[in-house]
Structure 1
Amino acid sequence: MADLILHPPRAQKIPHPVTVHGETWDDPYFWLRDKDNPAVMEYLRAENAYTDAMLDHLKPLCRKLYQEMVSRINETDVSVPEQIDDYFYYSRTEAGYQYPIYARKKDHLEADEEIILDVNQLAEGHTYCHVGQIGVSPDHRWMAYVLDTTGYEDYTLYIKNLQTGELLPDVISGVKTDLQWTNDNQALLYTVSDDAMRSCAVYQHVLGDDPAQDQQIYFEADECFSLYLQKTRSKKYFKLISQSALTSEVRILGADQVDQELMLVAPRRTGRRYELFHHEATFYILTNEDAKNYRLMKTPEDAPGREHWQDVIPHRQAVKLDDVMVFKRHLVLWEREKGLIRIRIISLVQGDDFYLDLPEPTYTVYPVGNSVYDKTTLRFAYTSLVTPRSIFEVDMDTGERTLLKQYEVRGGYDASQYRSERIYATARDGTEIPISLVYRVGMTLNGKNPLILYGYGSYGISSEPYFNSDLLSLLDRGVIWAIAHVRGGGELGEEWHENGRFLHKKNTFTDFIDCAEHLIAQNYTNPAQLAIMGGSAGGLLMGAVINLRPDLFRVVLAKVPFVDVVNTMLDASLPLTTGEYEEWGNPNDKVYFDYIRSYSPYDNVVAQDYPEMLVTTGLNDPRVHYWEPVKWVAKLRDLKTSDNLLFLKTNLNAGHGGASGRYERLKETAFDFSFLLDRLGITA
């Protein structure tokens, strides 16, 4: 052990000059990108061995946390069934098994169960298993599903005869997760990816045909755009959506039989995004055209072109129209105001509307199921930092609400013993940044509490406050859990996103620092007891803030962190790069290159003290390649001036999302939490 403490792994430095825009610098850890190089794998295993040895003392705490987490969940549980025609579809889990079982019953819920897909059986012989999508044909006879067994998000499509239980020989590799059946049950549409893993084309497969003969329906040639496939809730049309970060374009195709021409709704125009929803003889259109926070428009079904669009819900400065759901007799609007979603239901028959009452100061709400067009009820999930996930069904005519299921927290959870609140930190430019918090009732705000501050802040994605029973293992040990809703996310509308991307990206980092300082100033915590964590683009946030203010944080957990931004964004052959020019900027333009290089965590590691850190990655991650965090750790080891511990943990059998099985995911969480607690001085 002493030898390991004195000698953590050191990656070899091999000169690798890089020249861009006339500037040349050395990237001595570039060689770590080649996982076919035995020396690279040797280094990853050495880092894992170092982490395992140095954190061996955490095993009792880790086991205890894992047992706590498992004890709170109903290991054998079932989802709320959804009725589609004569069948009730649902998923369930069984104690001791890692993966869900998908099943159905015919005519009534007391009927015999028919298992249509047991993911546990698919997982046999694999260290990773993920079913990305399941699609049952309209006549309920066939089921298609896509399966990834590496974590690299490289899916294979299978088709199962639900009457006989047999798989068809029609196996299609290299697909993405979008798939839709034609209404005649004879064919399905699916998407495929290019070498950069960009979803780029839609194909049609006719049952029984050789997949090599599948017909290409559409190919998206622009490398900055990805192609997505959906079906309208009315089931009348397929939607082929070409989309970049800033721009979208929709084509429609009749879903009865794919023997018609694609119809382009409105040609792409940089900066304009729109979505299409079918209703009887009308298309509703959600768009940001001249409406930063989006507006709702409509157009005749037989004349969907832009010149026919008419306003239905105008743009509002303080309210973002996040999403729209169209039923035969109702419109459901998901509106975001002051960072929280409101559900507005509009009758398309009577014209009246109402909002659902959602009382807590901070919460999360989202739709669940709702596959059937001709329904008068809406299902949604509601949760908050103190309220377990609850499935409600509301009558869209009367507003009457029914609780269908609240997911049980075993062990006697009492929500009244926890307090959730939302406060605001003032950023250095005067902007008010929301912070969501939860902690045990009775906690004294004396500046001496351990606190974990989470952040993300990219892509316009909102960090929603939801219930996670795993967090009880932190809260019951006196830890405060906090979420910094920094700019770059979507919590406060599209402007919130715009002010945290491109040449405003540094607002994300300074917002997070200002939130941390506010929590300290308000006596929630102090730097010696402040932990921070984030993953993926949130890992970029972690890397940036510790370069700027390493003194502010005691310990850092960076999961699959996007930290080698310059190199990644300069390499158009990598998955996601070209599609992300509209989030970070294209470094082939010197203005963006200079700006990205000024904050990219890997490029800005310097000789200074850094907090204690645990960095995790997955060898098969196609989104943030393993070599980004690995190079970052190597450089930090070389330059950091403190004795604070630095650990790298590489999952050699997983991708961006970590382990695929639910028990393995809980073990990963227990390991992460045990590290944070131990570094915060909580050892039991």
Structure 2
Amino acid sequence: MPEPLLPEPLVPPTAKKVPSTREFHGDVFVDPYEWMRDREDPEVTAYLEAQNAYVEEQTAPLEQLRADIFAEIKGRTRETDMSVPVRSGRYWYYLRTQEGLSYGIRCRLPISGDDDWLPPEITPDRPIPGEQVLLDSNAEAEGHDFFALGAFSVSHDGRWLAYSVDTVGDERYTLRIKDLETGELLPDVVENTAGGATWSKDARHLFYLTVDEAWRPDTVWRHDVGDSGDDTRIYYEPDEAFWVGVGASQSNEYLFVSSGSKVTTENLYLPMSDPTGPLTSIAGRIDEVEYTAEHAVFGGRDYFVLVHNGPTGGVPAGGVGTDGVGTDGGPAVDFAVDVMPVQEPSARRTIVPHRSTHRIEDVDCFADFLVLSYRSQALPQIAIADLRGRTEPPLLADFAPVTFDQELCSVGLGANPEWAAPHLRIGYSSFIEPAEVIDLDVRTGQRTLLKRAAVLGDFDPADYIATREWATADDGTRIPVSVVRRGDTVGNGPIPLVLNGYGAYEISSDPAFSIPALSLLDRGMAVATAHVRGGGELGRRWYEDGRLLAKKNTFTDFVAVARHLVDAGITTPSQLVADGGSAGGLLMGAVANLAPELFGGILAAVPFVDPLTSILDPSLPLTVIEWDEWGNPLDDAQAYAYIRSYSPYENVRPLPYPAMLILNSFHDTRVLFTEAAKWAAALQDSTTSGKPVLLKTEMNSGHGGPSGRYRQWEEAAFELAWMLSCTGAA
């Protein structure tokens, strides 16, 4: 009998090779795929579309699993729902979602009385008398493949709504103003703005940002409502390493303009009583000193409250330098809190000193209390100082922590726009408990649960456990690892596991609940997070030990965590999938080259995997500001050589790479689509394992992937199904 015919193995599209030579600091690199940088080249888009077709063929057997997971996510989500109303001015503001609609509907309702601080009970599935729809994003998104809302800001008198939209995915927004009394749009339209907008207190002026050709927010403008003439530039930052921001103080008495690089910041202000007046620097600009500012009132006197990493020890008797920063003591590596009288900057003094065990992140100021946000034991926490009856600024001992029973949890401020509020809105979440919105009466300490995120079906938090593991890096450093799994998998031997990682920009990966993750957990898979160096979980030094010439610690930490999970018997290499996006995608690329044998699969989303090529080109978006994070390879041969040694794309070589899924976005302005496309081509050409390398490009989205919750659920289902298939758990 003749042998049965077997189906031909699927083969990825072959990318042509066009050698392009790059030479810096005596190093020569021949790049065969640099031709993919031309977005307008039809051959480039044809290549991406061919890769997408290959992905569809390879993942066709997972179609039913994807459909099942999508149905699970949808079935666990209350589609017709609403956020907890937030009081601002004379209204309660909230967001509605409706079954079948992809985007939220923003509404408001008049408050019933000045003493009404607990939000009204509103039925999610129907409007109520007096409700006003401010913006229906579904209507705004109609006819567009992509939609993102940037600014959404109501003037303090409740009359005007400023909002901006992006319908491409490139994070260039069109800003409009809506008259909420008539429902009409004003002819005032501003194109190509950055996200965000801030109203003056008198509601006559709107402040917004624009970006330069490298996508850097560099200019603050003032728009006069109803004026069709040119807007007024109030601030411009010429230094390409600095990004600009604008916002109002919590009290709305001051407008703040910030300009910051990765390591240096300056803040300026103008009184809202004079919104067309000049800006004044608060504490100057000092190289490698960062600070933020807020406004507080103590004993009837106006102060700026500064969170900073400048010199510590208070202000010496001799006063301060011309920059307004005390000149005694060493730097506050994990930040300190100072107060500075607005009219007497020389009287600046420290109220919360630097402590190496607590990374101070922010201070929010209200009429009757201050809220200190900080990080301790790798977790975000808050503490509150009551100001009632106090005429002087509080000290460290006056701040009382807000505690919860769960060991691995996140606590932070919610939306609190009212300066004079006696209540504080806080948010709580853990890996195994849905997010909660809590009202805290600061005067009495009473907590009121306003909302716990709904999880439909038979979900029970008691079925899951979250534990903290500690891995040991090559240099002896202990690396925290968070592991979430079903309780009934404990003691049953190794199980499939997905290991997430990021490790850059001092961004922390904190406990948070995820409905999609339940589809993994309930199939017996664990979900773990490696809190590697380069993030901010354990303070500023944790970040410093994972950037610049210490960046490789991020990669070796992740490998150490993977080995720990295997050695501890929690999982095995064939059951282990690594997952990371953006800078976490660089992490994925680096570990793929370092230890491909440790993983059954690697998922990298919008990955920053060709960093050297990008950082060598100052004309590209974000490049100059990135030098403080990665180094400047243009001028520094050591930085060039170091990045060259770990760049994922440039270090692809014949190795048994695991199965890989690379997610890309064509309109991404943060990480250009070119990086993932080149990397995928190199991997497909080099891998010796025979396992597929998949490149999936969203042709109508940006850095955050597809828009709309249903498309996002479909994408989540696609990714989770692929993860399960890699581990044999599908």
- Of residues 10, 28, 46, the one that matches 1:24 is 28
Q: How far apart, in 2, do the equivalents of 1:361 and 1:517 lie?
A: 25
Contact 1:530 1:554 in 2 (8 A): yes
Q: Residue 245 of structure 1 aligns to a residue in which SS?
A: coil
- The 2-side partners of 1:340 and 1:6 are apart by 46
Length-normalised TM-score, structure 1: 0.98
Q: Secondary structure at the match of 1:69?
A: helix
Please tell me whether the aligned partners of residues 447 and 520 of structure 1 are also in contact (alpha carbons under 8 angstroms).
Answer: no
Report whether the alignment pairs 1:660 with 2:707.
Answer: yes
Name the CA distance, whole Å, in 2 between partners of 1:575 and 1:72.
39
- The CA distance in 1 between the partners of 2:29 and 2:276, in whole Å, is 55
Residue 360 (structure 2) aligns with? 321
The answer to whether the Cα contact below 8 Å between 1:229 and 1:240 also exists between their aligned partners in 2 is: yes
1:114 to 128, 132, 139: 132
Q: How does 1:578-589 map to 2 (within 5 A)?
A: 578-588=624-634, 589=636
Structure 2, unmatched stretches of 5+, are 113-119, 121-127, 311-330
Q: Residue 332 of structure 2 aligns with which residue?
A: 291
2:678 corresponds, among 627, 631, 637, to 631
Moved more, 336-345 or 556-565: 336-345
Question: Residue 293 of structure 2 aligns with which residue?
Answer: 276
* Aligned partner letter, 1:308: A
Amino acid at match of 1:315: H
Does 1:441 find its partner at 2:487?
Answer: yes
Equivalences for residues 27-38 of structure 1 within 5 A: 27-38=31-42
Q: What code does the residue aligned with 1:440 have?
A: R
Deviation at 1:147, TM superposition (A): 0.5
> Of 55, 58, 62, which aligns to 2:66?
62
Report deviation, 1:680: 1.2
**8 Å contact kept, 2:89–2:158:** no
Number of the residue aligned with 2:591: 545
Mapped to 2, the partners of 1:651 and 1:367 lie a distance apart of: 34
State, as a whole percentage, how many aligned pairs show the same letter.
Answer: 42
The aligned residue for residue 88 of structure 2 is: 84
2:277 to 227, 244, 260: 260
Per the alignment, residue 9 of structure 2 pairs with: 5
Deviation sequence 1:348-384 (CA, Å, 0-9, x none): 2355442112221211222111111111211111110
Q: 1:4 touches 1:50 (CA, 8 Å); kept in 2? A: no
Report if aligned partners of 1:246, 1:270 keep a CA contact under 8 Å in 2.
Answer: yes
Deviation at 1:41, TM superposition (A): 0.6
Q: Is the partner of 2:711 in helix, strand or coil?
A: helix
Mean CA deviation greater in 392-401 or 9-18: 392-401
Residue from 680, 685, 689 that aligns with 1:642: 689
Shift of 1:47: 0.2
Equivalent of residue 507 in structure 2, options 452, 455, 461: 461
Pairing partner for 2:476 from 430, 437, 441? 430
Q: CA deviation at 1:174?
A: 1.1
Say if 2:90 and 2:158, in contact at 8 Å, map to a contact too.
no
AA matched with 1:422: R
**Equivalent residue for 2:124?**
none
CA distance in 2, matches of 1:323, 1:184: 27
SS in 1 for 2:668: coil
- For 2:9, what is the secondary structure of its paired residue? helix
Letter in 2 for 1:140: G
Contact 2:665-2:698 within 8 A present in 1 as well = yes
Distance in 2 (CA, whole Å) between partners of 1:4 and 1:302 is 78
Distance 1:128 1:486 in 2: 33
User: Aligned runs of 1:552-591 on 2, under 5 Å?
Assistant: 552-588=598-634, 589-591=636-638
Question: Which secondary structure state, in structure 2, belongs to the residue aligned with residue 592 of structure 1?
Answer: helix
Count of aligned residue pairs for this structure pair: 680
SS of 1:171's partner is strand
Structure 1 counterpart of 2:175, from 153, 157, 165 = 157
C-alpha distance in structure 2 between counterparts of 1:160 and 1:4, whole Å: 59
Cα distance, 1:341 vs structure 2: 1.9
- 1:617 pairs with one of 660, 664, 686: 664
Q: How far does the alpha carbon of each residue in 1:254-293 deviate from its partner, in whole angstroms, 9 at most, with x for none?
A: 2234222210112211110011110121111110111010
For 1:232, the equivalent position in structure 2 comes to 249
User: Is this contact kept in 2: 1:446–1:525, CA < 8 A?
Assistant: no
Partner of 1:363: 409
Contact 1:447/1:526 (CA < 8 Å) preserved in 2? Answer: no
C-alpha deviation, 1:2, in angstroms: 7.7
Tell me the distance in 2 between the aligned counterparts of 1:462 and 1:651: 27
CA distance in 2, matches of 1:2, 1:574: 48
> Is the Cα–Cα contact under 8 Å of residues 143 and 162 in structure 1 kept in the other structure?
yes
1:506 corresponds to which of 552, 565, 574: 552
1:344 and 1:184 mapped to 2: Cα distance? 33
Q: Report Cα offsets for 1:395-433 as digits up to 9, x if no partner.
A: 122221111100110002101111111111111111111
AA matched with 1:132: G
Instruction: Report the more deviating stretch, 103-112 or 507-516.
Output: 103-112
Distance 2:658 2:412 in 1: 37
What amino acid is the match of 2:640?
F
With over 3 angstroms needed to count, the CA separation of the structure-2 counterparts of 1:412 and 1:256, relative to structure 1, is farther
Q: Distance in 2 between matches of 1:303 and 1:510?
A: 49
**Secondary structure of residue in 2 paired with 1:68:** helix
- Is structure 2 residue 234 aligned with structure 1 residue 193? no
Query: Structure 1 residues 526 and 446 mapped into 2: Cα distance closer, same or farther (>3 Å)?
Result: farther
- Distance across 2 between alignment mates of 1:353 and 1:625: 45
Unaligned runs of at least 5 residues, structure 1: none
Report the counterpart of residue 171 of structure 1 in structure 2. 189
What code does the residue aligned with 1:342 have? Answer: Q
1:480 matched residue in structure 2: 526
1:206-247 superposed Cα distances (whole Å, 9 cap, x missing partner): 112125x10000100000001000100010111100001000
In structure 1, give the amino acid aligned to 2:136.
Answer: D
Q: Could you tell me how far apart the structure 2 residues matched to 1:448 and 1:250 are?
A: 52
CA distance in 1 between counterparts of 2:696 and 2:470 reads: 35
1:168-216 deviation per Cα after TM superposition (whole angstroms, max 9, x unaligned)? 11110010113111111111010000011100000011112125x1000
Query: 1:242 maps to what in 2?
Result: 259
Deviation at 1:448, TM superposition (A): 2.4
Q: How far 1:6 moved relative to its partner?
A: 4.4
Kept in 2: contact 1:534–1:558 (CA 8 A): yes
Distance in 2 (CA, whole Å) between partners of 1:271 and 1:256 is 33
Partner of 1:520: 566
Given that 2:380 and 2:510 are in contact with CA atoms closer than 8 Å, whether structure 1 keeps it comes out as no
- Give the Å deviation of 1:4: 7.0
Partners of 1:345 and 1:162 lie apart in 2 by 36
- The answer for the alignment partner of 1:335 in structure 2 is 374
- Which of 347, 355, 358 is matched with 1:308 structurally? 347
Contact 2:294 2:365 in 1 (8 A): yes
- Of 71, 75, 78, 1:74 maps to 78
CA distance in 2 between partners of 1:169 and 1:20 (Å): 51
1:347 equivalent in structure 2: 386
Residue 55 of structure 1, CA deviation: 0.9
Q: What's 2:576 paired with?
A: 530
Structure 1 residues 5 and 314 mapped into 2: Cα distance closer, same or farther (>3 Å)? same
Instruction: Report the more deviating stretch, 92-101 or 320-329.
Output: 320-329
Q: 1:90 to 1:3 in 2, by over 3 A?
A: same
Q: For residue 84 of structure 1, what is the amino acid of its counterpart?
A: S
User: Does the 8 Å CA contact 1:187/1:207 hold for their aligned counterparts?
Assistant: yes
Q: Distance in 2 between matches of 1:83 and 1:531?
A: 44
Q: Counterpart amino acid of 2:373?
A: W
Q: TM-score w.r.t. structure 2 length?
A: 0.92
**Residues 342, 358 of structure 1: 8 Å contact kept:** no
1:146 aligns with 2:146: no
